[in-house]
Amino acid sequence: MGYYSTLDVGFTINKTKVKLLRIELKRLSELPEDEGRPVLGASEPTTDLILKDQLANTSVEDNGTFYFPEHYAKWYNTEVLATFFARFSRSGKIEFAGEDGTKWGHMWQNRKVFDCVYKMSQGTLIAQV
């Protein structure tokens, strides 16, 4: 049983790479369950079978807009998505909110992928008691 998390994306695929992304998504969807190539840049040893699971039923429009269905992910493999998308998008971010309220995310700029740091700060006054 996995840890449920929701996903918020903030990126667009470079229009020149939409076709390449579609080819890669097709390759992943057809990948046999007993095969898989190592994923470079992942913090834990993993293969692209994780990407096959996480990118199932996704699509990309001709203008580069990327669509995810309802997303389930485990905390220890979410950086694999950022590493994957950094190949097709100059900059962007993905943010996760776990079932217990935990937030985490990753961002990339020019093919460099980073963890996001979430800091609580004072917001708008909502009550004075």
pLDDT at 71: 64
Cβ-Cβ contacts under 8 Å for 45 (sequence gap 6 or more): 38
Residue 28 bridge partners (DSSP): none
Domain hosting residue 20, numbered range: 5-115
How would you label 114-126 residue by residue, b for 16+ Cβ within 10 Å and e otherwise?
eeeeeeeeeeeee
126 located within any domain: no
**Residue 114: CB partners within 8 Å, gap ≥ 6?**
106, 107, 108
pTM metric for this prediction = 0.78
Amino acid identity of residue 4, one-letter, is: Y
Q: How many domains does the chain have?
A: 1
- Residue 125 inside a domain? The answer is no
Predicted local confidence at residue 1, as pLDDT: 40
Let me know if residue 88 belongs to a domain.
Answer: yes
Q: Is position 122 within any domain?
A: no
**Residue 56 within any structural domain of the chain:** yes
Decide: 13 and 103 in contact? Cβ < 8 Å. Answer: no
Distance CA 68, CA 82 (A): 14
For residue 120, tell me if it sits in a domain.
Answer: no
In a domain, 18, yes or no: yes
Give me the average pLDDT of each 10-residue run along the chain (129 residues). Answer: 69 91 90 77 71 82 83 66 89 86 88 84 76
- Helices (H), ranges, 6-127: 18-29, 49-54, 79-85
